[in-house]
Structure 1
């Protein structure tokens, strides 16, 4: 397998406070990799550094062997990395279709944009049904579908997902995670930040556990599910 995304000795600070203390992480092409950890561990910080929303204070981020860490966010998106943010961040006063189209602002080819939109509606039929509805009137689950759909409009090679299950009922979480599996099967590599550790490890190929800005455990997802340390800390000891 080819390493598509690589983080080497990454340091990220907010002012004088360092949030990531030199983490290393790799994502192979075609994988789903999850980052687990408690609130404040640095999970979202890691994603924001990859997507260009935060500038690292040290280390490297490589995409297909090319350095990303000095590029602005819009160049990273053009390179093939797209993010669905924590909290969904849909534009409530725009329609579902308008929100989706915003995700295509780097796509010059209108036929390609139409093809991508068709694919998103196949993944999330509810969005097609509600395409003329204002995004602010959607349920939480539908807004999460919309946030993921918008991120897919640029047909990224890597999709960054930040807490997709947050605030959703268990059945909806199951549906969203099944769709993430389908997105991955369509050739999109996924880096997932998720507090629902059990669901994330059942979905992912590999995982990393982040604690206070350090990676403490990493390995295949099934090994992490069986690891007593991970089980006690993140899986309720079950």
Structure 2
């Protein structure tokens, strides 16, 4: 792959739920090593965009390329095997399984046991609290700990690109800061990140570039600093100028 070709590209992607068009001709690029933020109000199509990349929703038009190869026609589990991993909104950890069992489930596509062991060690470095709680049932963890576990479980698949859907949802500000710092660290260690996030200011401070979605269409695309300074973005998503 040449340096100037994106690791992930959506070309004119449209998605329909019945007769309703949820995404309309989306064009989006993510380059290796970036953090790209997707902003927008509730119902703008942010989660649908991630689920379409993951293969959980099929586009009725357009192409999705990963590593310059089309992935829009393949089943979701094959998308995972290629290294495209999603952390779903609402965490969705397996509450009746332990932290360790949840992590092991994330590694089902990885055949190399020593690599899996290394990844577990890395996750415990990123989230020391998970190491302390490794034998605890996931359902007994706090919301923040469950979010850490959901990210950890995704990392077990050794992603090339991590799709994060609303990681700060329902969490206390201090926990959000910790989660966002860890996302930055994961990115520093070589994982490309696509972040869907209601907390637009935090997302843009973390990201290199951002896209703004409105009713299924991309209305703005720019580097993160420019979007933070953009009056339209400030009024719509940042609660006016700070």
Structure 2 length-normalised TM: 0.97
1:17-39 per-residue CA deviation (whole Å, 9 max, x = no partner) reads 11001110000000000000000
1:145 is matched with 148
Q: CA RMSD in A?
A: 0.6
Q: Does 1:56 align with 2:59?
A: yes
How far off is 1:109 after superposition? 1.0
Using the alignment, how far apart are the partners of 1:8 and 1:123 within structure 2?
35
1: CA distance between counterparts of 2:130 and 2:56? Answer: 27
SS of structure 2 residue aligned to 1:6: strand
Name the structure 2 match of 1:237. Answer: 240
Residue 197 of structure 2: which of 182, 194, 199 is its match?
194
**Which sections of structure 1, spanning at least 5 residues, go unmatched?**
none
**What residue is the counterpart of 2:79 in the other structure?**
76
Q: TM-score, normalised by structure 1?
A: 0.99
Q: For 1:37-52, what aligned pairs fall within 5 Å after superposition?
A: 37-52=40-55
Aligned residues: 238
Please list every run of 5 or more consecutive structure 2 residues that lacks an aligned counterpart in the other structure.
Answer: none
**Partner Cα distance (1:92, 1:112) in 2:** 26
Select 1:135's aligned residue among 133, 138, 161. Answer: 138
Aligned pair partner of 2:106 in 103, 106, 109:
103
Deviations 1:133-188 (A, max 9, x none): 00000000000000000000011100000000000111111000000000000000
The answer for the alignment partner of 1:183 in structure 2 is: 186
